[in-house]
Structure 1
Amino acid sequence: MKKARITYKFVILLVALCFGAVFCAPSFFGTSWGSKITLGLDLQGGLHMLLGVETAAAIESKEKSIASSIKYFTGKNDILIDELKVENGLITFSLLDSDDSAKIDEMLATNQGLIIDKKDLSYELHLSDEEKLSTANYAIDQAVEVIRNRLDLFGLAEPTVAKQGKENILVELPGIKTSADEQRALDLIEKAAHLELMALDEERQSMAQTISARDAAAYGDVLYEDAKNPAQKYLLKELAVLDGAMLIDAKVAFDQNNNQPIINFTLNAQGARIFGDFTGANVGKRLAIVLDKKVYSAPVINERIGGGSGQISGGFSVDEAHDIAIALRSGALLAPVKMLEKRSVGPSLGSDSIRQSMIALISGAVLVVLCMIVVYGLAGVIANVALVVNILLLIAIMAMFGATLTLPGMAGIVLTIGMAVDANVIINERIREMLKAGAGVKNAIAKGYENAMSAIVDSNLTTLITSIALYAYGTGPIKGFAVTISIGIVASMITAILGTHGVFDALGEKIQRSGNTRLWFGYKIKGKNASI
């Protein structure tokens, strides 16, 4: 008796089976080890939000940033200017010495999209329409990245953050189940985290409690409240010394004197240089640390501060300090966001979806399995084994990559079941055709796979291309569907083509000797078999 012929194709099927069984176990049994599939918002419940981006604020912020650059440049190069203002989209100032005109013109020319209107020594600057549009679009794209980074650092599993329309952002947070978690996530998303270091108006600070914001603007100042005591006001120079764009790190620490949480921040090289120059030139004066237009502290500068580091203290709780540090590390929002729509998806809805999807999955699988056995006999059983390996492999790969399973993703699994046996249907029909033509069993199997291969590869390749397009241009659930289909196609190529061919290679001699093609292929050869 000849031994079964074990080929590399059969080994690949066994390896796929073992790999799938091991790596999908954590998802099936909820083990403490291993990667698991994350359920999407529609399956486990959570928070769905639609945010609007106020792009006008980003344009205004860029205008102020240009004005701050002018102030720093002129101060560093001993260029005297007068009445530097930002008002109604215009940046205006006047030079006091015509000899400095060439220097300031060269500096202004480095600002892309800045339209310069110069009359004698008076300058009037504004952003071009193209630059305003570019700034607005960048603010939206930046908001998407910042919010996603914040939620990742917050520890939420697979949040969905995607641009929707021209100025809106879709945010879906699976697993948010308590009102406290919901509020904390909302605060983190909506926090602008705009850090500014601003000089106190020493001459007029005594007026801060009585002056209005309008009167403060007439002096080139802004009026901000204390973060913990709104009754305490600060009169600050409108143009910041530097802002959070120059921040590279922020970490929670504890004050050695009172053990209260504080936030240590670090500036980049440019920020460190500006910070050092300002503190060196303003010893004895006060510098306010402002976060989202709230003053957290306004210490007196005792000496030049080098190294580009500082701290924010303000009676934070540990969670508050942690969330502010996350917001600072992930970057400030160039434009504030506002809530347009918010709804909570209850876990009960997710449970219903899972139950109904599992019913569809199981019933579809059972019908496919029975149909394959009835029509193709033991060849159908082999195809069903490959189907099981395919599903295990699909779930294992999704778990390894931390993929999120959504309701469309479960629909993709149901569709994958049909697609996985489709290849074997084509192969078995080609084998039957060869048997009808009088070919021997082993020759029919070899030719069946050979003749079916082009049709299988073409159909799977076109479906894979479509799935890639869905993933590239789709959002949320569409991406989940595309991921499931793509992995299912690749897995079926391994199991349904290579794997089943390996099984037939191993059993070819046995099938040939039995001569019972009805049992093995659901078709009885009429007449004498052709030679092998």
Structure 2
Amino acid sequence: MKIFNYRLVIFILSIIFGIVFSIPSFLQTETGKKISLGLDLQGGLHMLLGVKTDEAVTSKIKSIATSVKYFADDEEILIEDLGIKDDNVVFTVLDKDELPRVDKMLDNIKGLNITKEGLDYKISLSNEEELRTKDLAVAQAVETIRNRLDQFGLAEPNVIRQGKTDIVVELPGIKTVADEKAARELISKPANLELMAVDEERADQVYNLTKYQAAQYGDVILEDTSNPQIKYLVKEIPILNGSQVIDAKVAFDQSNQPIINFTLNSSGARIFGDFTGKNVGKRLAVVLDGKVYSAPNIRERIGGGSGQISGGFSTVEAGNVAIALRSGALPASVELLEKRSVGPSLGADSIQASMIALISGFLVVFIFMIIYYRNAGIIANVALVSNIFIIISVMAMFGATLTLPGMAGIVLTVGMAVDANVIISERIRELLRSGMSIPKAVENGYANAMSAILDANITTILVAVILYAYGTGPIKGFAVTISIGILASMLTAILGTHGIYEALMPKMSKDKNLNKWFGIK
């Protein structure tokens, strides 16, 4: 029989893979993919954020008003007094013959309470739609914050919803005040981009009007981002908002100052082109989070659906704003409810305790297998060592985060990995005691043990999948580690050790020393 067989070749290749790709994690080299440590192991920042869901309702009302305005302009329907009062969209249709068209448009928007008196409309959200909007605002905030942190480059941030309006954010590796400040600004920035028409008729009165007086004309007063003393009077209903932005990138103008170029989707580009075409000579304010960054004159129709934001950004600020725009605006602003830092010393203590548990558990299992099963125990230990290397390498390849529960999962995997070899060895010993030859005992031992091993591992993997699907960050880390460990143990314990037995079979058959090979006295 040849020394090398397909099982042994696969096993050797898996060992090489495990060693090569786990080296960066063990040695913490500058190059190569490494396992990221979780908040509980390397320290970092834990924050509890509250979402102001009432703002999401206001934003929804404003978007409905924008839709009404665009529909009226596009269909050339004359309306007046379009505005927002007490979370209601109000407007008047000037031609009663246009009422059926307006009604048909509003019927396509779900969740509205529509009150109509003659030509006057009053639109609000239904109670069910208001609750749905608030719930969706929190869900969208979770996804938006997670996307921003991923694009920012933070390793495996944990962002989960807690209760109806709160969000828990855990950021491993945040250890300096500067890093914490940058992360908090990125998370909390609403990035609400709006393109708003300047009220040219009353623009020169902006310094004499109160907010209440401006509201009577359907306007709002906004400050300039670089100089709060400069104010703009703009129409309350925006032309476009950030939901229609599909890309945003940092660029530099002729004076080498950072600017942000943004691109609109097809509907946004059409609205933008139509508006600029009809308002040549007037100003369009570029508003970000309630501040006017620029208000250029429209010189000609702007097609292509692109624009830019300039306003004295630093390069870092421009990059963060671009990330926020790409990942989407927060549907409602968030406030910091609780913050605590996890020191790296606590993480170091956790790693030390986990390593002691892992090493001591490994040594006990290692020694027991050699004493009880002799050479079969050594073969099982080879599989056990290779199993750990494979787990580390696969986690590094996928960029998985290792948490304290994950370390516990590795410790548990050590016992589970050797369990399959114990079952196989016991089946072989039973057959050898009954007088069966070594080659037949090995083949039948693996065949008889297979069903028990597969049943145990498949049920454990199913539980791990459920834990991953419904668990939070640390629980997911445990589920990932257990799943990888089970799959690796099936490769090493079933395929790998079988290949080693096949390679050593001529020697075992010739030696016939059952005590030496399997611990049978």
Question: CA offsets, 1:67-104, max 9 Å, x none?
Answer: 11111211222212222222223222221111111111
Aligned to 1:158: 156
Aligned to 2:334: 337
Distance in 1 of aligned mates of 2:264 and 2:424: 64
Q: Aligned to 1:94, what secondary structure does the other structure show?
A: strand
Q: Which amino acid aligns with 2:384?
A: L
Shift of 1:339: 1.2
Q: Using the alignment, how far apart are the partners of 2:194 and 2:476 within structure 1?
A: 39
1:148 is matched with 146
Q: Is structure 2 residue 276 aligned with structure 1 residue 282?
A: no
Alpha-carbon offset, residue 365 of structure 1:
0.5
Helix, strand or coil for the counterpart of 2:287? strand
Residue identity matched to 1:429: E
Match of 2:103 in 1: 105
Q: Partner of 2:343 in structure 1?
A: 346
2:486 corresponds to which of 485, 489, 492: 489
Name the counterpart of 2:25. 27
Output the amino acid matched with 1:468.
V
Residue of structure 2 in register with 1:249 after alignment: 247
Residue type of the partner of 1:23?
F
Bigger mean CA deviation after superposition, 128-137 or 193-202: 128-137
Taking only the aligned residue pairs, the percentage that are identical comes to 63
Task: String of CA shifts for 1:476-517, please: whole Å, max 9, x gaps.
Answer: 011110000000000100101111111112222322322221
CA distance in 1, matches of 2:342, 2:209: 48
Residues 314-463 of structure 1 correspond to what in structure 2 (within 5 A)?
314-463=311-460
The answer (yes or no) to whether the contact 1:4–1:509 under 8 Å persists in 2 is: no
TM-superposed CA distance for 1:37, in Å, is: 0.9
Q: Structure 1 residue 137: deviation in Å? A: 2.2
- Mean alpha-carbon deviation: is it higher for 376-385 or for 335-344? 335-344
Partner of 2:15: 17
CA separation in 1, counterparts of 2:322 and 2:278? 29
For 1:457 and 1:277, the matched residues in 2 are separated by: 65
Distance in 1 (alpha carbons) for counterparts of 2:51 and 2:423: 52
Contact 1:223 1:236 in 2 (8 A): yes
- Equivalent residue of 2:159, what SS? strand
2:498 matched residue in structure 1: 501
1:214 corresponds to 2:212: yes
User: 2:127 matched to which residue of 1?
Assistant: 129
User: Given the alignment of the two structures, is residue 302 of structure 1 paired with residue 299 of structure 2, yes or no?
Assistant: yes
Match of 1:307, as an amino acid?
A: G
> Partner of 1:379: helix, strand, or coil?
helix
Q: CA RMSD in A?
A: 1.5
- The DSSP-based 3-state class of the residue aligned with 1:415 is helix
Deviation at 1:302, TM superposition (A): 2.2
Q: Return the alpha-carbon distance in structure 1 between the equivalents of residues 437 and 271 of structure 2.
A: 85
1:4 Cα offset (Å): 5.0
Look up the equivalent residue of 1:350 and give its one-letter code: G
Deviation at 1:8, TM superposition (A): 1.6
1:84 aligns with 2:88: no
Deviation at 1:300, TM superposition (A): 2.0
For 1:156-208, what per-residue CA distance to the aligned partner results, in whole angstroms no more than 9, with x for missing partners?
12111222222222211111121111101110110000000111122322332
Q: Is the 8 A contact 1:8 1:502 kept in 2?
A: yes
What is the Cα deviation at residue 25 of structure 1?
1.2
Work out which of the residue numbers 183, 186, 202 in structure 2 matches 1:185.
Answer: 183
Is contact 1:413-1:488 (8 Å) kept? yes
User: For 1:254 and 1:4, how far apart are their aligned partners in 2?
Assistant: 67
Aligned equivalents of 1:118 and 1:221: distance in 2?
A: 24
Give the aligned residue type for 1:285: K
Moved more, 437-446 or 448-457: 437-446
Q: Deviations over 1:355-376 (max 9, x none)?
A: 1111111111111100111111
Partner of 1:119: 117
Partner residue, 1:527: none
CA–CA distance in structure 1, aligned partners of residues 466 and 308 of structure 2: 47
More displaced 10-residue stretch of structure 1: 449-458 or 88-97: 88-97
Q: Deviations over 1:113-148 (max 9, x none)?
A: 223222322222222222222222222221122111
The alpha carbon displacement at 1:39 in A equals 1.1
Aligned-partner residue type, residue 314 of structure 2: S
Matches within 5 A, 1:68-79: 68-79=66-77
Cα offset, 1:390, TM superposition: 0.7
For structure 1, which runs of at least 5 residues remain unmatched after alignment? 525-532
Matches within 5 A, 1:59-70: 59-70=57-68
- Are 1:194 and 1:292, in contact at CA under 8 Å, matched by a contact in 2? yes
Q: Residue 23 of structure 2: SS of its match in structure 1?
A: helix
Distance 2:276 2:493 in 1: 71
Contact kept, 8 Å, 1:227 with 1:314, in 2: the verdict is: yes
Q: Spell out, residue by residue over 1:24-58, the C-alpha distance to the aligned partner (whole angstroms, 9 max, x if none).
A: 11111223432111111111111111212122211
> In the TM superposition, what is the alpha-carbon distance from 1:107 to its structure 2 partner?
1.1
Equivalents in 2 of 1:165, 1:10: separation in Å? 52
After TM superposition, the score normalised by the length of structure 2 is 0.97
Decide which of 165, 168, 171 is 1:170's aligned counterpart.
168
Where do 5+ consecutive residues of structure 2 fail to align?
Answer: none
What SS does structure 2 have at the residue aligned with 1:187? helix
In the alignment, is the contact (CA less than 8 A) between 1:90 and 1:124 conserved in 2?
yes
Cα distance in 2 for residues equivalent to 1:331 and 1:379:
58
Aligned residues: 521
Give yes or no for contact 1:283–1:304 (8 Å, CA) kept in 2: yes
Aligned partners of 1:53 and 1:168 also within 8 Å: yes
Distance in 2, matches of 1:487 and 1:95, equals 64
Shift of 1:5: 4.5
Once residues 15 and 230 of structure 2 are traced to their aligned partners in structure 1, the CA distance between those partners, rounded to angstroms, is 68
Q: Distance in 1 between matches of 2:515 and 2:277?
A: 94
The CA distance in 2 between the partners of 1:502 and 1:274, in whole Å, is 67
Q: TM-score, normalised by structure 1?
A: 0.95
Aligned partner letter, 1:189:
I
